[in-house]
A and B are shown apart, each in its own frame.
Chain A
């Protein structure tokens, strides 16, 4: 005699609900938004390095960013499209991280009496590093996009001079360099983790993924820090 097996008759929730309600799904949101931001950072870093070729080229590049896609797109449309995607990515990444962190902390309410240093530095600093980067993004936009907290007179359409002004202050350099070091650590663990979350990691690919994560972290950090270093050493002025 067999017992009749229960047949699933309840409706499964929508794909968006399933993803957002699951810890694995929320990690997927973090991985995808992280990869979007990472792709943007690679382009941003390459663009920044044009500062070494003089005010003319750098300002022209800034202007070009506003005319991308013309005549199909209107002036600044492409730029705004990118900005919207980035804001969505940052918010999705931060909200997921906040909710996942709360779940993690609730899951381990009492600590071990015998403490041991755990995991790598990059892994342990993901949360604080993320907070530092979030605050940095706010400052960075207020400083060089809107000019609200820019030292000296912010000039719309003259990014070269604006960058030189920012990195002529000690605090501008400190904030920027600290944030870029945090970025490097964040990418080192984050890129490899995103690969695991998205299921593209494997035994054979593990070493390659870790190497790519390290190289990306190093190149981005070095590439971004090259700008304040250029201003500080007087190469860019």
Chain B
């Protein structure tokens, strides 16, 4: 396959960026999107040019490192991560636009790499349980009803890639935050911090400069792990419950 790539190039966080056009040839339809970019980078290095910087790690669709907006879609046309997107989703002669996640809370570091530490700070605000850890406890020590376990698992699937923020017209992190809140709030292990977790994580989310939810639903469509939009509704419910409960305790 022969392709025309239009890639966002930006030297550093302070520099102005622009789309640069590259031609790549000899692309196999079995290549992943990242392997295609590797091919481009090898050529760029041989030509003595600066290779395109992009995030990647496991290339198995489970780490959440890869982060490209391809032809306007976070992670591209298939519902998966960029590393699991294959070139068979494109046609010979296609022009493909590749851009970084765009949100003021995710500033560009270089080219297609953005700083997602805002997500880490949201997790630090409450995405944990304060039980003393040590050796793994006996599995049946704390019974969890099957529907609750399933719900927690569905939310635990979130890999924190940030596609929800990239796809949201408001650059909101509601789907990410709701996945993390619900994951622990439905479990007995997460119960002691049920109220503070949602209040603190939502407050941190606001502080990081993410936008608000207008329920456009773009986040859930883009999510490679299928976190549903109703997850946001559940978090809103938890937030309202926590606000009432904390107010009563004063």
Contact = CB atoms under 8 A, between A and B. Distances in A.
Nearest to B19: A113
B172 A107 contact: yes
A100 interface: yes
A112 B69 contact: yes
Given A114-B72, A126-B214, A202-B230, A119 B236 contact: no
A124 B218 CA distance: 12
Interface string A192-219: 1101111111110010000000000000
Given A119-B217, A192-B215, A202 B169 contact: no
Given A18-B243, A25-B243, A118-B169, A199 B72 contact: no
Interface stretch (B42-50, B55-63, B201-209): B201-209
Interface in A25-75: 25-28
B211 interface: yes
Given A107-B172, A116-B72, A202-B230, A197 B236 contact: yes
Interface in A70-128: 100, 103-116, 118-119, 123-124, 126
Contacts of B239: 22, 24-25
Contacts of B212: 23-24, 26-27, 100, 103-104
Interface in B221-241: 228-230, 232-241
A60 to B, nearest CB: 43
Contact of B216 (A19, A103, A123, A202): A123
B246 interface: yes
Contacts of A100: 212
A92 B103 CA distance: 28
A123 B214 contact: yes
B243 A19 contact: yes
Contacts of A206: 230
A138 interface: no
Contacts of A26: 212
Contacts of B243: 15, 18-19, 25
A99 B225 CA distance: 32
Give the interface residue-count category, chain A.
Answer: 35 or more
Nearest to A31: B236
A221 B160 CA distance: 42
B172 A104 contact: yes
Contact of A196 (B19, B168, B233): B233
Interface string A1-32: 01001001001101100110111111110000
Nearest to A15: B247
B41 to A, nearest CB: 21
A110 B215 contact: no
B234 A199 contact: yes
Contacts of B246: 12, 15, 18
What are the 9 A-B residue pairs with the smallest beta carbon separation, nearest first? A199-B237, A107-B211, A107-B171, A104-B170, A114-B97, A23-B212, A104-B211, A108-B171, A116-B72
Interface of B: 6, 8, 19, 69, 71-73, 97, 99, 102-105, 130, 132, 168-172, 196, 199, 202-203, 205-206, 209-218, 228-230, 232-241, 243-244, 246-247, 250
15 contacts: A8-B196, A15-B247, A19-B243, A22-B202, A23-B202, A23-B205, A28-B240, A110-B102, A114-B72, A114-B99, A118-B218, A119-B217, A196-B233, A197-B213, A199-B241
